[in-house]
Structure 1
Amino acid sequence: MSTSLKPSAIMHQHSIRKHTGFQLVPTISSFHCQCTKNPIVFNFGDSNSDTGGYADGLGLNFGPPNGRTYFRQPSGRLSDGRLMIDFLCESLNTSYLMPYLNSLGPNFTNGANFAISGSATLPKYVPFNLGVQVSQFLRFRARSPALKIKGYTDLVGDGDFQNALYTIDIGQNDLAGSFNYLTHSQVIDKIPSFIAEIKSAIWTIYQTGGRNFWVHNTGPLGCLPQKLSLHSQNASDLDEHGCLKPLNDAAKTFNEQLRVLCEQLRTQMVNVTIVYVDIYSIKYDLIANAPNYGFQSPLMACCGNGGPPFNYNATITCGNTGHNVCNEGSQFISWDGVHYTEAANAVFASKILSTNYSTPQLNFNFFCNKM
C-alpha cells in the first residue's frame, strides 16, 4: 500500500473512538481542519516519527508483523500501524509524509519527512542525526523551488516554506544511549548539549524562512519494556506504576530544558509560533491509567519474546525468529518494547490535538489557516 494516499477514504474503517470504563477517546476526524491551501509539513525526528526513511536509506525494511494493523504489510514504520505523525497528517486531511530519502515515485507536495529510526541530536554529522536531517532539509529547500520552476511537479514552491509547519520529535535516543555508558548524574550533565542541537536546528530553519514550529518533548523512557527488562529491578528505583524513576527523571530534566528553550526562542525570534507539546504527560497518563482507557499490560510488549512481565528479549526482538506477538485487536500500549502500537498512538494524537498539553494552546487548525 502506498503511504502517499490520502487516508480520509479509509480512516472511517479504523475508528479510534473507544468507550471504556472511564474514558472516551475521540476519533482523529473530530479534529479535522479545512485548509484553504495544501498543508505542508516538514518533520524531523527518530523512529517515533519515521515513516520509512530508515528503510529507504539503508534498503532494510522492518519486516512482519510490523504494519499488520493498518497497512496490512510492512510500511517502514516501527509499529503495527500508524504513528502519531500519521494521525496528525490525517487531522490536516493531507497525505502521510513521504520520507525524504524515498527515490521511487516520491510526492513531496505536502512536505517531507526527514526522521530516521535511531537518530539523535549527538554526535554531530552521524547519519542520520538531527544536524544531518537539517542539512538534508536545506538541500531540499534550495532544490525544490528551482526544480519546480523548471516544470517538475510533486515538489514545494519557494513561497510555501514560510507557511509550512516544522515538527520536531527527537531526544529519546540521546538519553537512552547515554545511559548505556554514563552514570545518572553524567547523563543529566550532558542534556544541555542535546538541547543546544535542537536550538541550532530551529534557528537554522528560522533563518531560511520557517516560522511555525511544533516541538514534542520526550516520553517516559523508564516505562519502556526494553529498559525495564535490561535494568536491575530495585524496588527503590521503581515508581508506583512500575517505571524506572532514574530514567524518567532524566527525561523530565530534558523536557524542562526543552520547554525553557521554546520560551526563550519565542522572545528572540520575530513573527514565530513555537508550540511545545508535553508528550511525556500524554504517554505517562496512558501507561499509569491503562485500564481506564481499555488497555492491558501497560509495561509489556505486544511483540517480543520472554512473556510476562515485559515480553522483551534483546536477542529475539519483534520480527526475528522466535518472537511471539499478541492477538490482533489486543489493547497493548507497547508494540515491541520501545515503540508504541497504533492504538496507543491514536490516543496520543487525540490528546495532542485537544491542545490540553500544548503551550501555547494552539491546535493544527491554527496552522491550517496560516497555510
Structure 2
Amino acid sequence: MAFHSLSLSLLLLFISSFPLLALAKWNQDAVIFVFGDSNSDTGGLASGLGFPINLPNGRTFFHRSTGRLSDGRLIIDFLCQSLNASLLTPYLDALSGSTFSNGANFAVVGSATLPKFVPFALNIQIMQFLHFKARTLELAASGATNHINDAGFRNALYIIDIGQNDIADSFAKNLSYAQVVKRIPAVVAEIESAIKSLYNEGARKFWVHNAGPLGCLPKLISLAQKKVVDSLGCLSSYNSAARLFNEALLHLLQKLRTELKDATVVHVDIYTIKHDLIANAAKYGFSNPLMACCGFGGPPHNFDNRVTCGQPGYQVCGEGSRYVNWDGIHFTEAANSMVASKILSTDYSTPRTPFNFFCSH
C-alpha cells in the first residue's frame, strides 16, 4: 500500500509540474510537426469539420472543451511542455490567431493511412504540410515576421503516430484476422512514403510511435462480436495484429536509418508502455483499466455506442478518479501523463534519444 501511495504521489507531482512549465517563457527553438490520429489531435476534427466535442472532454486542466478527446492533456501536450514549448495549434484552426512559429498539428481524429486521398488520411496530412511549408516560406520571404524559416523546417522534429485506425477499422469491417494482417505491409508502406516525402523536403529528425494494445480498449472489447480475450480481458486478435504491425514498423525504421544516412529516426514503443500501465494499473495508482471513465452502462466497460461521452445521458467518473481510459478509446490526462513520463525516460526509444535532442541546432 505504501508503494502505491508513493507511485501516486510521484505521478501527481509529475502532472502538477507541467502547468508551471506552461507559464514560463516558451522555448523558441522547439519546432514540432505532428501527423496522426485522435491520440494526437489537439482540435483538428473540431476545426476541420465543425464536429462538436462537448464537455466533459477537456474538464481537467483546460476546464473547457478544446477538441481533444480526453478529460485533459494528450501525450503530445506533455511532450511539448517538457520542452517548455507552447502547445501545438491544429493546422486547420482558422481562428487561432497563431503564426505557427513553433510548428503545427496535422493529426485529426479517425485518420488512417488507407484509403488514400480521403480526409484526413496520412498522405493528405503530408500534402497539407507541403502547402503549409510553401506558404510559410513565401510569407517569410516577403518580410513577414514570426514565421518558421527554412532552417526552422530543417531542424524541426517530425512526429508520426498513426496506423491504429487501419487495424481497428479492418476488424470493424469484419475482416478475418488473416485479412487484417495481410493489410499491414500496405499500411507500413504509407508511413514509409510519408517519411521519405518529408525527408525530401529537408526533414531530418523523425519521432515515430508504434500502435498501442488496441485489444485493451473498452469500446473495442464491447463491440467485438467474437470475444476471445487474454488473461487481462483484452482482445487477443487485436493485440496480436497490433504487435505484428509494430514489428513491421520497427523493421521499416531500421531500414530507413541505413537509407537516410543523415537522418535521426527514433522508434518509440508505445505498446509496451500502455500494456504495462494496463497490466499493472494498481502499481501506478490506477483502477478499472478496462473501464471507461466517461460513457454509459456501468461495469465492466461502461461503453455504449448509443450514449457516448459528451452525448445526452452519459455517465462520468469523479474528477479525482484514477481511471486509465477516458471514453472507451482514449486515455485520461492522468494516464497520458504517465505514458509521457515513460517516453521521456528514453527507456522505450530506439535508439535511446532524449526528446529534446532536436532543440540544439
- With the length of structure 1 as denominator, give the TM-score of the two structures: 0.91
Alignment match, 2:106: 114
**Given residue 87 of structure 1, which amino acid in structure 2 is its aligned partner?**
F
User: What is the distance in 2 between the residues matched to 1:90 and 1:297?
Assistant: 28
1:363 Cα deviation after fit = 1.1
Alignment match, 1:133: 125
Task: Summarize deviations over 1:255-282 as a string: whole Å, max 9, x none.
Answer: 0000000000000012100000000000
Alignment match, 1:71: 62
SS at match of 1:239: coil
User: What is the distance in 2 between the residues matched to 1:325 and 1:244?
Assistant: 24
Would the aligned equivalents of 1:54 and 1:117 in 2 still touch at CA under 8 Å? Answer: yes
Does 2:152 correspond to 1:160?
yes
Alignment match, 2:166: 174
Does 2:20 correspond to 1:27?
no
**Given residue 356 of structure 1, which amino acid in structure 2 is its aligned partner?**
D
1:150 Cα deviation after fit = 1.8
User: What is the distance in 2 between the residues matched to 1:243 and 1:107?
Assistant: 43
1:233 Cα deviation after fit = 6.2
1:254 to 245, 257, 267: 245
2:136 to 139, 144, 155: 144
1:37 Cα deviation after fit = 4.9
Task: Trace 1:1-371 onto structure 2 (pairs within 5 A).
Answer: 20-21=4-5, 23=7, 24-25=10-11, 27=14, 37-104=28-95, 105-181=97-173, 182-232=175-225, 234=227, 237-370=228-361
1:53 Cα deviation after fit = 0.7
The two structures, once aligned, show a CA RMSD in angstroms of 1.8
**Given residue 241 of structure 2, which amino acid in structure 1 is its aligned partner?**
A
User: What is the distance in 1 between the residues matched to 2:180 and 2:5?
Assistant: 40
User: What is the distance in 2 between the residues matched to 1:239 and 1:333?
Assistant: 19
SS at match of 1:78: coil
1:350 Cα deviation after fit = 0.3
1:27 Cα deviation after fit = 2.1
| Number of residues of Structure 1 aligned to a counterpart in Structure 2 | 349
SS at match of 1:168: strand
Would the aligned equivalents of 1:98 and 1:107 in 2 still touch at CA under 8 Å? Answer: no
1:206 Cα deviation after fit = 0.1
Give structure 2 stretches of 5+ with no counterpart.
none
1:21 Cα deviation after fit = 4.6
SS at match of 1:333: strand
User: What is the distance in 1 between the residues matched to 2:141 and 2:160?
Assistant: 29
1:35 Cα deviation after fit = 9.5
User: What is the distance in 2 between the residues matched to 1:204 and 1:253?
Assistant: 25
Which region of structure 1 is more displaced relative to structure 2, 197-206 or 173-182?
173-182
Would the aligned equivalents of 1:22 and 1:292 in 2 still touch at CA under 8 Å? Answer: no
Alignment match, 1:5: none
User: What is the distance in 2 between the residues matched to 1:245 and 1:136?
Assistant: 36
User: What is the distance in 1 between the residues matched to 2:142 and 2:160?
Assistant: 31
1:95 Cα deviation after fit = 0.4
**Given residue 166 of structure 1, which amino acid in structure 2 is its aligned partner?**
Y
1:42 Cα deviation after fit = 0.3
Task: Call closer, same or farther: CA 1:227–1:145 in 2, change over 3 Å.
Answer: same
1:55 Cα deviation after fit = 0.7
Task: Summarize deviations over 1:51-82 as a string: whole Å, max 9, x none.
Answer: 01111101223111100011000011000000
User: What is the distance in 1 between the residues matched to 2:3 and 2:146?
Assistant: 40
User: What is the distance in 2 between the residues matched to 1:178 and 1:128?
Assistant: 17
Would the aligned equivalents of 2:28 and 2:102 in 1 still touch at CA under 8 Å? Answer: no
Would the aligned equivalents of 1:278 and 1:358 in 2 still touch at CA under 8 Å? Answer: yes
Which region of structure 1 is more displaced relative to structure 2, 158-167 or 21-30?
21-30
User: What is the distance in 1 between the residues matched to 2:336 and 2:105?
Assistant: 18
Task: Summarize deviations over 1:198-219 as a string: whole Å, max 9, x none.
Answer: 0000000000000000000010
1:323 Cα deviation after fit = 0.6
User: What is the distance in 2 between the residues matched to 1:241 and 1:189?
Assistant: 26
Would the aligned equivalents of 1:109 and 1:154 in 2 still touch at CA under 8 Å? Answer: yes
Would the aligned equivalents of 1:22 and 1:293 in 2 still touch at CA under 8 Å? Answer: no
1:152 Cα deviation after fit = 2.7
User: What is the distance in 2 between the residues matched to 1:353 and 1:44?
Assistant: 19
1:143 Cα deviation after fit = 1.1
SS at match of 1:215: strand
Identity of matched residues, %: 56
Larger helix share, 1 or 2: 2
User: What is the distance in 2 between the residues matched to 1:243 and 1:94?
Assistant: 36
Would the aligned equivalents of 1:121 and 1:170 in 2 still touch at CA under 8 Å? Answer: yes
SS at match of 1:97: coil
